[in-house]
């Protein structure tokens, strides 16, 4: 099966990278074909350029991430203004709370989980690095959206939707505005089983250039807002919420200054 140049080829090549990146071990060509629902010849067609550019390597067991991948990660960190300090802080927060810690960001209409202490092999964990499609149902999403001017927040929700993920998910724009008021009033956001019933997350927006002490933006265009958050099993939240919230708030002043745009 031959592929014509265009978006479908690009989409399938990216799917190959996703499958290989998410696997715990190298992935064979036949396994890739089954996963993608395509012919074996298509797999070879797609992996050829990825091998040539260093995005994949071929081992005796199958395909694995190539040497170009760490360079992409370093570029990602550079563009977000990240250095060793952010990873160290997330690690300290993880050790202090026993909860996985995250750095998330809003930029130009998108919300992304930038970094996390959750192991990349933990496929069951709900908050993995990458685009966050469920921001309305997560604490980090609420904290970031609460820091935006209302028109940008409304535009984000209109473009990305408010899918019902559990029976606790807020799916009404009016109710979400009331939640935003609560977030601003208390200085932190909470999501108890709204994205995944098994997990609860807490988050605070990070102050930065052009922002007040409460982390709210000054409304200067569609720039960047950052947030720090943690997640833990919902079953643990009730007895530990005060302790974890205090540790999260204590960590905010130590977070490196991050770019606004």
- Is-above-0.85 flag for pTM? no
In angstroms, the CA 217 to CA 176 distance is: 19
Confirm if 125 and 94 have CB atoms less than 8 A apart: no
| Structure tokens that stand for 130 in this block | 């990458």
In angstroms, the CA 29 to CA 46 distance is: 11
In angstroms, the CA 203 to CA 143 distance is: 6
Per-residue pLDDT of the chain (261 residues; tens, 9 = 90+): 334 444 678 888 889 998 988 788 899 999 999 998 999 999 999 999 999 988 899 999 999 888 887 667 666 666 655 555 677 888 899 998 989 999 999 988 999 888 888 876 666 677 887 889 899 999 999 999 999 999 999 999 999 999 999 999 999 999 999 999 999 999 999 999 999 999 999 999 988 654 443 444 433 345 789 999 999 999 898 889 899 999 999 998 887 755 554
- Containing H/E element for 228? strand 224-233
């Amino acid at each position: 099966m031959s592929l014509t140049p265009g978006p479908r080829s690009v989409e399938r090549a990216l799917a190959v990278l996703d499958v290989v990146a998410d696997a715990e071990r190298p992935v064979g060509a036949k396994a890739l074909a089954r996963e993608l629902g395509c012919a074996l010849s298509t797999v070879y067609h797609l992996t050829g350029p990825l091998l040539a550019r260093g995005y994949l390597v071929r081992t005796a067991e199958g395909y694995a991430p190539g040497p170009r991948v760490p360079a992409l990660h370093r570029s990602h960190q550079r563009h977000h203004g990240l250095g060793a300090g952010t990873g160290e802080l997330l690690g300290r927060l993880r050790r202090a709370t026993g909860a996985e810690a995250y750095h998330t960001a809003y930029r130009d209409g998108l919300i992304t989980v930038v970094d996390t202490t959750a192991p990349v092999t933990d496929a069951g964990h709900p908050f993995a690095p990458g685009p966050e499609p469920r921001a309305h149902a997560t604490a980090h999403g609420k904290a970031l959206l609460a820091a935006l001017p209302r028109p940008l927040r409304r535009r984000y929700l209109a473009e990305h939707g408010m899918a019902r993920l559990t029976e606790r998910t807020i799916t009404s724009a009016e109710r979400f505005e009331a939640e935003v008021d609560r977030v601003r009033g208390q200085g932190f956001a909470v999501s108890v089983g709204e994205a995944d019933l098994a997990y609860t997350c807490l988050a605070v927006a990070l102050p930065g250039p052009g922002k007040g002490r409460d982390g709210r933006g000054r409304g200067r265009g569609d720039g960047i807002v950052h947030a720090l958050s943690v997640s833990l099993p919902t079953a643990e939240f009730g007895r530990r919420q005060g302790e974890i919230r205090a540790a999260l708030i204590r960590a905010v002043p130590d977070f490196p200054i991050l770019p606004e745009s």
